[in-house]
Structure 1
Amino acid sequence: MGKANQIYVLDTNVLLQDPYAIYQFQPHEVVIPAVVLEEVDSKKRNMDEIGRNARLIAKMVDQLRDGGKLHQGVVLDRGGVFRVELNHRSFKHLKDRFAEMTNDNRIIAVALNLQKEENEKANGCEVVLVSKDALVRVKADAFDLRTEDFLNDRVIETDKGYDGFETCYVDQEVIDQFYKSGQVSVTMLPDRSFFPNQFVVLKDHVQPSSSALGKVDLLGHSIKPLVGEHEQVWGIRPRNAQQKMALELLLRTDLPLVTMIGKAGTGKTLLALAAGLLQTEDLHLYKKLVVARPVVPLGKDIGYLPGEKEEKLKPWMQPIYDNLEFLFDTKKPGELDRILAGMSSIQVEALTYIRGRSIPDQFIIIDEAQNLTKHEVKTILTRVGERSKIVLMGDPAQIDHPYLDEYTNGLTYAVETFKKEALSGHVRLIKGERSALAQLAADLL
């Protein structure tokens, strides 16, 4: 068995986020404390993504037993060693600072005791505790343990994700040609590269008030005007440049996937619903408008809640109903329910009820998509049928899922994966349009 120069102790949340994490540390040694296996075991009956990952971990660890005794360590196919740590559970070095024997503290104790043992060796290894829990890393740091976040599942390497638009400062001649000929070549913007369907704001670098808004064509060769200046869509008018971009994407029939990111109050849900109603009810481009959002907390299926299905859904779907009331201009209590009852083409559902179905000829809106894992987004997108359009939207800065963050969630995954594809479009909405107070609160709080 080869000698590793580092020992990585993995926290439970790393495995539940990515079961294949044990293979990401070659050629080093990977150690799983026994308490981690106990925590994984407690999750395997969950009927959600966490439960699925827990069952996968159990299967993978069981298969590794073919290579030898897990507590002694087995060599992985691509190098490195995997070991389940049954010893080094002593609390002696922790009890002065963290007396309570929580599972987190047990994991820290294993890493700390391993490090002390390695320090006594002439050529001992460095022990690294890998956890997605910031507080575990903070507590471990108090004992001079090296800690790391697990970044292999990050969709983006930096804090800056894809916005879907770019501002370019150019000579006035470029803007004049854009308006005169209806397009400009991307070669007129040297040192710039664009994705298909990306929006471009052209500004005169001498007089920035002179500008033009265009979009990159499907091939990424030229910048063309938007299809139309959408004055009104079901009574909704775009109030800023990003909302114009969003409506352009939402109303294009050649883009089966649209992603939108933005803080609360930027108009994501209202714009998507207005565009969906126009194309479903007025233009009859789709047979049905389906609006869904994950039931949060995701750890509990909606069946745990009291009452009938409609009663259970109401609290979670209320933001959707609020926007529908605005679009239908309802004044009286119960009026929206009567309207929706008479319009079978509009369906408001919890995401639990649409996963696993084949969905043809429908305009599908998935709200709060930042609470979906990468696997869940894949599951949904692979169910989209012929002639359907799906809109994924949310705010990656507001994650309710315990094992996701701004850089690993399904919405960010979809944005970054599809940004090079001609059949999708994306925009980040920036400006809040609810009120001056709402915008200030979104920025400050």
Structure 2
Amino acid sequence: MKKNYVLDANVLLHDPHAIFRFEDNDVIIPIYAIEEIDQFKREGSERGRNARTIARLLDEVRGAGTLATGVLLESGGTLRIAIPERRPELLVGLESGSQDNAILQTAIDIRDRHKDRPTIFVTMDTNLRIRADALGIPAETYENQRVHDPAIEQSVVEIEVPGAEVDAFFQNGSLSVANVADLLPNSAVLLRDAGAPSHTALGRFDAARGQIVALRVGREGVMGVRPRNKEQAFALDLLLDDSVRLITLIGKAGTGKTLLALAAALKRTTEDNAYSRLLVSRPIMPLGRDLGFLPGDVDEKLNPWMQPIFDNLEFLFSNGGTRPGRDARGFVELLESGQIQVEPLTYIRGRSLPHQYLIVDEAQNLTPHEVKTIITRCGEGTKIVLTGDPQQIDNPYVDHASNGLLVVAERFRRERIAGHVVLAKGERSELAELAANLL
């Protein structure tokens, strides 16, 4: 049975092409949603771009008919803009003059006018879904860009094998096992001796060879940073493997996401010369109330935002991270020479980044569209690492299931050039680990 889908403004601001995502059902946009979208068209943000995009799309669609009665879409459904027969302020029990109530009134009128088919209200506003349900209108969130299983934890897979095979794995560096079809490419594997459970070996599934291969990270670690648990060892192995071009590192605060990525990137860039430059970036997203405009030139304005990156670089170049006696401010020379660049994501659109090691920190604050823009900047020979914690989202327009970091991890999980690691154990300090768990 065909359905009527009434779309809220936030759905179109999130994905302007949502009008084409409802198959052969009828899509209805309240006129009040168009008015709300019009308020954002002058913004230079992604929300402003989306507001202008939906206006252009609607203008193109109306060339095939009139939006008042409905325009036939290629999917077989129709698209129209609706105005309620009654004034929004007549909605009993709710505040008059509210844009949300006007949109809800439109949905109620459509439901009452079309009793022969279901009417569903689609909004990404949780409170508005609750109000719609209270008024007897079925309400759903927009699912097209959401991850249905937001955990997507690719934890270490344990495989029981005879003890002789564990020994052979240590000797040969690889092992063929049965039922590898269930393993995702580049997933972490723990081989456990069936006779002696403490006799184990850690490896990674190489989908091209169809084998479990040994990790190549030595006990000395990378740039003086040694892996403290099996997830960190697995992450370092992926970070150093040039055949894996995209990596998503997910973990709570203090698990070493940024530090491990920077350590591997410094080794491959400054010591091995495998990449021409290390580019580290993060979105400009404040925690709590914004401080407003900052004084100084561009570098001085960005310094507070990029300080977490500088803290990690200073640690790697100090006794805490690398060889004793190294200058903690030694990374400044690399910054001045351009071999390391630290900059915001604001100016990345339109760039081409070949043969670079790109780290995007705090990627959980990015929308799927922003992440797509970043990844499509990667040229030949570039490796990109996305790090973040989905539990620490400061962007009000994404949530745990719709942020760019988890969407990328979900969409790339079966690709041979991509790897996904979930770091579970905090290693920053005992206090930081307790805070992450208890608070």
Q: TM-score, normalised by structure 1?
A: 0.87
The reply on whether 1:82 has 2:79 as its aligned counterpart is: yes
- CA deviation string 1:336-391 (max 9, x = no partner): 78556555322110111333222223221111122223332232222223333221
CA-to-aligned-CA distance 1:174-228 (integer Å, 9 cap, x gap): 43442344322132xx375223322211234565433210111241511111123
Question: 1:164–1:425: 8 Å Cα contact kept in structure 2?
Answer: no
Could you tell me which amino acid in structure 2 is paired with residue 22 of structure 1?
Answer: I
Q: CA deviation at 1:280?
A: 2.2
Equivalent residues of 1:213, 1:226 under 8 A apart = yes
Secondary structure of 1:260's partner?
strand
Structure 1 equivalent of residue 257 of structure 2:
268
- Relative to structure 1, the CA distance from residue 151 to residue 220 in structure 2 (aligned partners, 3 Å threshold; closer, same or farther) is farther
Find the residue that maps to 1:57 and give its secondary structure.
Answer: helix
Q: Judge conservation of contact 1:153–1:408 (CA < 8 Å) in 2.
A: yes
The reply on whether 1:382 has 2:376 as its aligned counterpart is yes
Is the contact made by 1:229 and 1:244 (CA closer than 8 Å) also made in structure 2?
A: no
Partner of residue 30, structure 1 = 27
Partners of 1:95 and 1:277 in 2: how far apart?
63
Q: Distance in 2 between matches of 1:428 and 1:41?
A: 41
Secondary structure of the 1:289 match is strand
Report whether the alignment pairs 1:175 with 2:172.
Answer: no
CA distance in structure 2 between the partners assigned to 1:270 and 1:367 by the alignment = 10
Going from structure 1 to structure 2, the CA distance change for 1:173 and 1:81 (only over 3 Å counts) comes to same
Question: Judging changes above 3 Å, is the alpha-carbon distance between structure 1 residues 307 and 108 closer, same or farther for their aligned structure 2 residues?
Answer: farther
SS in 1 for 2:124: coil
Going from structure 1 to structure 2, the CA distance change for 1:89 and 1:11 (only over 3 Å counts) comes to: farther
How far, CA to CA, are the matches of 1:387 and 1:26 in structure 2?
39
Structure-1 separation of matches of 2:432 and 2:396: 27
Summarize the alignment of residues 326-365 of structure 1 with structure 2, pairs less than 5 Å apart: 326-329=315-318, 339=333, 342-365=336-359
* Distance of 2:90 and 2:193 partners within structure 1: 64
- SS for the counterpart of 2:12 is helix
One-letter amino acid matched to 2:247:
V
Unaligned runs of 5+ in 1: none
Work out whether residues 84 and 109 of structure 2, in 8 Å CA contact, stay in contact via their aligned partners in 1: no
Where 2:110 maps in the other structure, the secondary structure is: helix
Equivalent pair of 2:150/2:406 in contact (CA under 8 Å): no
Match of 1:186, SS?
coil
The question of 1:431 aligning with 2:425 is answered yes
1:404, CA displacement in angstroms?
A: 2.2
Distance 1:360 1:25, change over 3 A: closer
Cα drift, residue 303 of structure 1: 11
Q: CA RMSD in A?
A: 2.9
The amino acid across from 1:56 in the alignment is: T
2:268 pairs with one of 279, 283, 299: 279
Residue 133 of structure 2 is matched in structure 1 by 141
Residue 161 of structure 1 is matched in structure 2 by 152
- Per-residue Cα deviation, 1:219-245 (whole angstroms, up to 9, x for no partner): 151111112325232221111111111
Counterparts in 2 of 1:278 and 1:181: CA distance versus 1, 3 Å: closer
Partner of 2:88, secondary structure, is coil
Q: Find the counterpart in structure 2 of residue 397 from structure 1.
A: 391
Matching residue of 1:104 = 100
**Structure 2 length normalisation: TM-score?**
0.88
The answer on whether the counterparts of 2:65 and 2:71 sit within 8 Å (CA) in structure 1 is yes
Q: Distance in 1 between matches of 2:181 and 2:73?
A: 44
Q: Is the 8 A contact 1:16 1:403 kept in 2?
A: no
Counting matched residue pairs gives 430
Q: Quote the Cα distance in structure 1 between the aligned partners of 2:117 and 2:359.
A: 51
Cα separation, partners in 2 of 1:444 and 1:32, compared to 1, 3 Å? farther
- Within a 5 Å distance, the mapping from 1:160-239 to structure 2 comes to 160-163=151-154, 165-187=156-178, 190=179, 193-204=182-193, 207-219=196-208, 221-239=210-228
Give 1:42's match in structure 2, choosing from 33, 39, 42. 39
Q: Provide, for residues 247-290 of structure 1, a one-character-per-residue CA deviation record: whole Å limited to 9, x for no partner.
A: 11111233332221111111011111111222222222223221
Corresponding residue SS for 1:16:
helix
Question: Is the CA contact (8 Å cut-off) linking 1:291 and 1:364 kept in structure 2?
Answer: yes
Which SS does the other structure have where 2:105 is aligned?
helix
Equivalent residue number for residue 132 of structure 1 = 124
